[in-house]
Structure 1
Amino acid sequence: MESTARQARDEWIARRCQLGEPEAFADLVRELERPLLYFAQKLLGNEDSALDVLQEVWLNAFQTIRRLDNPRVLRPWLYRMTRGLAIDRIRKDQSDERLQRVYAEQAASAAEEPAFDEEDAAAVHQALDTLDVKHREVLVLCFLEDMTIAEIASIVGCPEGTVKSRIHHAKRALKAALQGTSHERRA
């Protein structure tokens, strides 16, 4: 139900933007700035790069929102744009350094363990560090952004079955990495 209400609100904001309503784009930014910044930060590994990418996202969105055919897909459209620009940034930075590390918060494994202390949180960050970008991004979108499989598939540009598979493998890899970390802490 929440997803439907969110889609309806997104559609309303998108239509207002497309009609050129002065406050509409400001409403859009207020609504999605935090989650998009968080997503970009998790892909890029640092806030400065994420802010740069987000600035490009808002500029592109402002310039092209009138051409958005289906206003109901506003949120996936912005996440796809953020992902694409973040990947471009990673590729650009790759010549100077390895891919930026992405750290997800405790919510990535919230289904398995409801409460964390600082040591557990550090272990999760370290374990997530071992996952590749395609697995980290689906975990962030699924568990931290609370998106549906269909929304994630739309954002990352692959079939829903692939998204499910990536989530499954990412959770397995995360669990294995966390088990390895817990053995090290006990020793």
Structure 2
Amino acid sequence: MSDTSQITRDALLALRCQAGDDPQAYHDLVAEFERPLLYFSARLLGDENAALDVLQQVWWTAFRRLRRLEHPEQLRRWLYTVARAAAIDMIRKRDATYRQEREYAQEVAESVCEPEFDDSTAEAIHEGLGALPLALREVLTLHFLEELPVVDVAAIVGCPVGTVKSRLYHAKRQLRKILDACHES
């Protein structure tokens, strides 16, 4: 599906929800975005149960604030931004200090190389993602796994396009090192 037709579909869905006279609109909103938002949140958090909590927060926010969305064509971008903010809030609560986050990343990186690790490529990549710092993990997930353009990723994470490109470069390098280390052991 082309980007233009996707944006048009998103805008029409947002307008239906904003109108308030279509009881099916919010059901369609959830049906359209539940799986990709859950996947994105789970990749950021490394925990599907926590991602479900984030998803609940996204829907709560959407039901309360969607009527005020000024640019309906940016529905997708807005929902991912809400999900990202909720996930970051959860991470901040869970990991009170930077040191704790680094220890967690180290534990995950070490667990990737444990003997019981399943050699499936997809699983190895997801484990490797968990070892990356949040800033790298989120841009890699949004761009490659959610297939969002760099411009949208930049808007969602709130940084310039050049910064997103730099983070993608470093994320790919770090992920490659993690995967290579696992294959060597």
Q: Is the TM value for this pair above 0.5?
A: yes
C-alpha separation between the residues in 2 aligned to 1:123 and 1:51? 23
Mapped partners of 2:4, 2:161: distance in 1? 19
Deviation sequence 1:15-35 (CA, Å, 0-9, x none): 011101211111111000000
Provide runs of 4+ in structure 1 moved above 6 Å.
none
Q: Which moved more, 1:128-137 or 1:67-76?
A: 128-137
Q: Which has the higher helix share?
A: 2
Structure 1 vs Structure 2 CA RMSD: 2.1
Identity of aligned residues (%): 49
- Residues 50 and 138 (structure 1 numbering): CA distance in 2 closer, same or farther, change over 3 Å? same
Partner of 1:65: 66
The correspondence of residues 155-170 of structure 1 with structure 2, limited to 5 A, is 155-170=156-171
Question: Is 1:4 aligned to residue 4 of structure 2?
Answer: yes
> One-letter code of the match for 1:78?
L
Do structure 1's residue 171 and structure 2's residue 139 form an aligned pair? no
Matches of 1:133 and 1:183, distance apart in 2: 25
Residues of 1 paired with 2:152 and 2:3: CA distance?
A: 10
Tell me how far apart the structure 2 counterparts of residues 14 and 147 of structure 1 sit (CA, whole Å). Answer: 19
Across the two proteins, how many residue pairs are aligned to each other? 170
| Pairing of 1:41-80 with structure 2 (within 5 A) | 41-80=42-81
Partner SS, residue 118 of structure 1: coil
Unaligned runs of 5+ in 2: 109-117
Give me the whole-angstrom Cα distance separating, in 2, the residues matched to 1:42 and 1:125: 8
Whole-angstrom CA distance in 2 between matches of 1:62 and 1:125: 31
Q: Which residue does the alignment assign to 1:14?
A: 14
* In 2: Cα distance, 1:119 partner to 1:22 partner: 43
Letter matched to residue 133 of structure 1: L
- Aligned partner of 2:183 in structure 1 is 182
Q: TM-score, normalised by structure 2?
A: 0.84
Q: What letter matches 1:46 in structure 2?
A: D
1:92 is aligned to 2:93: yes
Kindly tell me: are residues 129 and 55 of structure 1, through their superposed partners in 2, closer, same or farther at Cα, counting changes over 3 Å? closer
Partner of 1:135: 136
Cα distance in 2 between the residues matched to 1:57 and 1:169: 29
